[in-house]
Amino acid sequence: MADEPLVLGIETSCDETGVGIVRGHTLLADALASSVEQHARFGGVVPEVASRAHLEAIVPTMDRALAEAGVTLADVDAIAVTAGPGLAGALLVGVAAAKGYAVAAEKPVYGVNHLAAHVAVDTLEHGPLPEPAVALLVSGGHSSLLLVDDLARGVTPLGATIDDAAGEAFDKVARLLGLPFPGGPYIDREARAGDPAAIGFPRGLTAAKDLVAHRYDFSFSGLKTAVARWVEARQRAGEAVPVADVAASFQEAVCDVLVGKALDACRANGVETLVIGGGVAANSRLRAMAEERAAKRGVRVRMPRPKLCTDNGAMVAALGSHLVASGVAPSRLDLPADSAMPLTTVSV
Ligand code: KG4
Ligand code: ZN
**Cα 227 to Cα 204: distance, rounded to the nearest angstrom:** 13
Predicted confidence at residue 44, as pLDDT, reads: 87
Residue 321 near residue 22 (C-beta atoms within 8 A): yes
**320-341 tens-digit pLDDT:** 999 999 999 999 999 999 999 9
User: Does the annotation place 149 within a ligand binding site?
Assistant: no
Contact 152, 326 (CB under 8 A): yes
DSSP conformation letters of 157-202: EEEEBSSS-HHHHHHHHHHHTTPPSS-HHHHHHHHTTS-TTSS---
Residue range 145-166, pLDDT digits in tens:
999 999 999 899 999 999 999 9
pLDDT digits (tens, 9 = 90+) for 102-155: 999 999 999 999 999 999 999 999 999 999 999 999 999 889 999 999 999 989
Other C-beta atoms lying within 10 Å of the C-beta of residue 221: 15
Cβ neighbour number for residue 106 with a 10 Å cutoff: 8
Distance 278 CA to ligand 2 centre (A): 5
182: left (phi over 0), alpha (psi -120 to 50) or beta: beta
Q: Whose CA is nearest to atom 16 of ligand 1?
A: 279
Asked whether residue 83 carries a pLDDT value surpassing 80, the answer given is yes
Annotated ligand binding at 139? The verdict is yes
Output the pLDDT for position 154.
Answer: 87
**C-alpha angle 324-327-328 in degrees, rounded to nearest 5:** 80
User: How far is CA 271 from its chain centroid?
Assistant: 22
Q: For residues 109 and 36, is the Cβ–Cβ distance under 8 A?
A: no
pLDDT beyond 60 at 62: yes
341 C-beta neighbours (distance < 10 Å), count:
25
The CA 32 to ligand 2 mean position distance, Å, reads 14
Is the confidence at residue 251, as pLDDT, over 90?
Answer: yes
Distance 309 CA to ligand 1 centre (A): 8
Instruction: Give the β-pairing of 273-277 and 16-23.
Output: unpaired
Mean pLDDT of 278-302: 97
280 lines ligand 1 (CB under 6 A): yes
Residues in the 5 Å CB sphere of ion ligand 2: 139, 311
Pocket residue to mutate for ligand 1, from 45, 280, 316, most atoms within 8 A of Cβ: 280
Phi, psi of 286 (to 5 degrees): -60, -40
Whole-number pLDDT of residue 2: 58
Task: Give the position, in ligand 1's atom list, of the atom nearest the Cα of 171.
Answer: 14
Asked if pLDDT for residue 3 goes beyond 90, the answer is no
Is ligand 1 within 6 A of the CB of residue 282? yes
Give one word for 173, left, alpha or beta, with left for phi > 0 and alpha for psi -120 to 50: alpha
Q: How many angstroms separate the Cα of 147 from the Cα of each of 42, 331, 346? A: 36, 24, 13
Phi, psi of 83 (to 5 degrees): -100, -10
Q: Are 165 and 213 in contact (CB under 8 A)?
A: no
What pLDDT sits at residue 241?
Answer: 97
- CA separation (Å) from 305 to 141, 277, 300, 321? 20, 10, 16, 19
Among the listed residues 221, 303, 189, 211, the one whose alpha carbon sits nearest the alpha carbon of residue 264: 211
pLDDT classification of 43: cutoffs 50, 70, 90:
confident
Q: What is the pLDDT of residues 187-239, one digit of tens each?
A: 999 999 999 999 999 999 999 999 999 999 999 999 999 999 999 999 999 99
CA distance 131 to 79: 25
Residue 41 is predicted with a pLDDT of 85
Would you state the pLDDT for residue 16? Answer: 97
Q: Relative to the CA of 251, which ligand 1 atom is closest?
A: 23
| Per-residue pLDDT at 1 | 53
Query: What are phi and psi for residue 139, nearest 5 degrees?
Result: -135, -170
Question: Backbone phi, then psi, for 19, in 5-degree steps?
Answer: -130, 120
185 in contact with ligand 1, CB cutoff 6 A: yes
Which of 33-42, 105-114, 273-282, 313-322 has the weakest average pLDDT?
A: 33-42
> Using DSSP, how many helices (H) and how many strands (E) does the chain show?
13, 10
For residue 154, say whether it is annotated as part of any ligand binding site. Answer: no
Confidence of residue 40 (pLDDT cuts 50, 70, 90): confident
Q: How far apart are CA 348 and CA 346, in angstroms?
A: 7
